[in-house]
Amino acid sequence: MRFTTARLCGGDALMAVSGETLDLNIDKIAEFFQKQGYNIKQKDDMMLVIDWNDMETTIYPQGKIMFFPLKDKALCIKYATEIIESIV
């Protein structure tokens, strides 16, 4: 899967934007991460926020993933690929 990145929050966060439009089920993703032992910080129809890899990670149904704090674009794409491959 291909991603582009966008810098957010004054440069302290990066968002990976999937090249494909996805339709992720937030409830199923939350259940998956909860079973893996990750802390679910917030969940609603529009996003899931978890503590992942020492970052606040926000997953959106369209396949966008935001990492805070993170400044390395290559790591952003690597992490987003890891997450998407584990949940799709």
Identify the three-state secondary structure at position 46: coil
Predicted structure pTM score: 0.91
6: confidence class by pLDDT, cuts 50, 70, 90? confident
Burial per residue of 22-46, b for 16 or more beta-carbon CB atoms within 10 angstroms, e otherwise: eebebeebbeebeeeeeeeeebeee
Q: List pLDDT tens digits, range 54-69.
A: 999 999 999 999 999 9
Q: Residue 52: which H helix or E strand, with range? A: strand 48-52
- CA torsion 72→2→64→50, rounded to 10°? -60
Domain span at residue 28 reads 3-87
Handedness of CA 65, 66, 70, 71 (dihedral sign): positive
User: How many structural domains are present in the chain?
Assistant: 1
pLDDT of res. 9 = 64
Nearest to 59 by CA among 73, 11, 10, 31: 31
> Which CATH number does the domain housing residue 28 bear?
3.30.310
CA 16, CA 18: separation in Å to the nearest integer?
Answer: 6
